[in-house]
Amino acid sequence: MLALGSRRYGLAAVVLILAGACTHASPGPETPRWVDLTHPFDETTIYWPTSKPFALSTVHKGPAGGGYWYEANNFEAAEHGGTHIDAPVHFAKDRWAVDAIPLDRLIAPGIRVDVSGRVQDNADYLISRADFIEWEARHGRIEAGSIVLVRTGWEARWPDKKRYLGTDTTGDTANLHFPGFHEDAARFLTQERNVAAVGLDTASLDFGQSTEFKAHRVFGAANVPGFENLTQLGTLPVRGFRVIALPMKIGGGSGAPLRIIAEIP
Amino acid sequence: MLALGSRRYGLAAVVLILAGACTHASPGPETPRWVDLTHPFDETTIYWPTSKPFALSTVHKGPAGGGYWYEANNFEAAEHGGTHIDAPVHFAKDRWAVDAIPLDRLIAPGIRVDVSGRVQDNADYLISRADFIEWEARHGRIEAGSIVLVRTGWEARWPDKKRYLGTDTTGDTANLHFPGFHEDAARFLTQERNVAAVGLDTASLDFGQSTEFKAHRVFGAANVPGFENLTQLGTLPVRGFRVIALPMKIGGGSGAPLRIIAEIP
């Protein structure tokens, strides 16, 4: 197993080139390591203040009549809570629903952009076009078909609802405070870089104080899915990994619980 | 995206071959193609006769007050229905729940064993140890850490509940008829081959007429997850692919909706 340190980018790049054929089905020295970017769904999982939260109800847990152990549950939730996907149709008519998103928008080379230094004193920070231009100056152009993950540092606040959302009051959308994408950044990533998907470690593609959800609308119109409430972004290298993001296949869904991992060769 | 009709296997095979270069994330000879082994969750999704089925309820679908399009839904279901994972704890105390399963049990080299020829006149067929021994004689030993997918052909009956389960009556478990693993086969795969996980294109690891669920208990005791209600197994090669099976990360879940794909280099 190659356990690359997250700051050894030069080596990572070399390994990536060497590992160009590294999608082997058979085990061997190319076996990657994985980072799970997903929060679990449980009673602490954070949902939008107006949304139905996740609930698990026990059907059975214990010895069954036949002399064996048996556990089973039912569950319910809103599509948009916890680590989840926004399908383009969430904010854009006639765009892809969850089950219609092609797999090459969900499985693709990833990059990580870290804006946590700029965000710590500004819960209403808007991730800007300049953040990506600056990243490119240091790490190279964002290639078409990439999945762009932005770390704001908000992941460290999970599952403290008050600190993560800005409010822990049901129904209170007036006091939401967390970073999100500026609409110009959304335009840059979709129109000028043609990315496959985007994700971040906050509750929404748009910042907490948004009322017009312009980033959602730009990404949606461009058929670019969004991944929200990610975690462990701080453990990723800036590039040289692959994102595998597989949502629950809700037919016609506007969103869905998402299991998302990074695969590091 | 390849929208393959579930009964159009002949055509599907041709399309798959022609589409070999069509699911690229980015240009390049190493880019794999993917086969989605997952049924969508909708009103046709098949659940156990005693289980809560999948239900999607619309929160909003249409123009929102702010002048933009908006869609959002809530959903509910039993853990064990549609394409889903059985966590080992489903039938074995103190074994892994869904969120505790290591990723190397979910992402691993796959093999496909086809028993559809033996099953067509016997809906109560038990997948046997001999089926795997015979596969090995033709294709080589099943390596430790493999994910073993068994095609019974039942996938072609989806979503016809009566033909797929043997009954379409709520609560009727007496008339369930479909193939599943014999307990000896489960012992062989766990104890003698040390597989990572198993899956098949029926509603359960155990056959429909099972009352003791011995295959589930053997797999569970060995901490081997099971993938049920798979589809498109007929389009896979016998080996040389990787399974990526990412369940919804239900904390403490005994099972969960599963998005599962095969990646063919």
| Per-residue pLDDT tens over the stretch A29-53 | 457 899 999 999 999 999 999 999 9
Task: Give the residues across from A247 on adjacent strands.
Answer: A258
Q: How confident is the model at residue B120 (pLDDT cuts 50, 70, 90)?
A: confident
C-beta neighbour count of A3 within 10 angstroms: 6
Nearest to B246 by CA among B23, B85, B32: B85
Q: What pLDDT, on the 0 to 100 scale, is given for residue B25?
A: 40
Any idea which of A120-124, B60-64, B189-193 has the lowest mean pLDDT?
Answer: A120-124
Q: Searching chain A, which residue's CA lies closest to the CA of residue B263?
A: A25
Whether residue A187 lies within 8 A of chain B, CB to CB, comes out as no
Cβ burial of B177 (10 Å; 0-12, 13-18, 19+) is middle
Question: What is the ipTM, given to two decimal places?
Answer: 0.90
Question: Do the beta carbons of residue A205 and residue A238 sit within 8 Å?
Answer: no
The owner of tokens 């399309």 is B15
Regarding beta strands A197-200 and A147-151, do their DSSP bridges make them parallel or antiparallel, or are they unpaired? parallel
Distance CA B8, CA A32 (A): 36
C-alpha distance across the termini of chain B, in Å: 18
| Cα(B241)–Cα(B73) distance, integer angstroms | 35
Radius of gyration of the CA atoms of chain B, in A: 19
CA angle A254, A258, A259 (to 5 degrees): 165
Average pLDDT over residues A234-258: 98
Token pair 């996740």 in the structure block, residue:
A54
Whether the CB of A78 is below 8 Å from some CB of chain B: the reply is: yes
3-class state of residue A87 by DSSP:
coil
Instruction: Give A223's DSSP letter.
Output: T
Rounded distance between C-alpha atoms, residue B55 and residue B77, angstroms: 6
Q: Is B262 on the interface with A (CB under 8 A)?
A: no
List the end-to-end C-alpha distance of chain A, in Å, as a whole number.
9
Identify the closest residue of chain B to A258 by CA–CA distance.
B248
Min mean pLDDT across A18-22, A94-98, A126-130 is at A18-22
Specify the residue for token string 């071959």: B17
* Catalytic residue chosen out of the listed positions B80, B90, B182, B216: B90
Contact B259 A248 (CB under 8 A): yes
Q: In this predicted model, what pLDDT tens digit does every residue of B147-175 receive, in sequence order?
A: 999 999 999 999 999 999 999 999 999 99
Nearest to A69 among B42, B79, B93 (CB): B93
Q: Which two tokens stand for residue B72?
A: 């959002």
Is the Cβ–Cβ distance between A233 and A201 less than 8 Å?
A: yes
- Residues B86-100 have a mean pLDDT of 98
Residue B133: count of CB within 10 angstroms of its CB = 12
Task: Strand A55-63: give its sheet, edge to edge.
Answer: A55-63, A69-78, B69-78, B55-63
Beta carbons of B41 and A101 less than 8 Å apart: no
* pLDDT over 80 (residue B101): yes
Give pLDDT, residue B121: 83
Phi/psi of residue B243, nearest 5 degrees: -95, 135
Q: pLDDT tens for residues B45-67? A: 999 999 999 999 999 999 998 88
Residue B30 is nearest to which of A20, A25, A257, comparing CB atoms? Answer: A20
Contact A259 B240 (CB under 8 A): no
Cα A28 to Cα A1: distance, rounded to the nearest angstrom: 9
Confidence label for B145 from pLDDT (cuts 50, 70 and 90): very high
Average pLDDT for residues A132-156, to the nearest whole number?
A: 98
pTM: predicted TM-score of the whole model, two decimal places: 0.89
Of A26, A77, A211, the CB nearest to B74: A77
Contacting residues for B57 by C-beta, under 8 A, at least 6 apart:
B73, B74, B75
pLDDT at A120: 81
Residue of A68, A148, A158, A195 best to disrupt the B interface, most CBs of B under 10 A? A68
Q: Judge whether residue A14 has pLDDT over 50.
A: no
Do A63 and A69 meet the contact criterion of CB atoms below 8 Å apart?
yes
- Single-letter residue type at B22: C
- CB-neighbour burial class of residue B244 (10 A; exposed 0-12, middle 13-18, buried 19+): buried
Cα–Cα distance list, A259 to A93, A107, A249 (Å) = 25, 12, 11
Q: Rounded to the nearest 5°, which phi and psi values hold at A114? A: -110, 115
User: Measured between alpha carbons, how far is residue A40 from residues B4, B43, B228 in Å?
Assistant: 32, 26, 22
Closest CA to B222 of B247, B250, B193, B243: B193
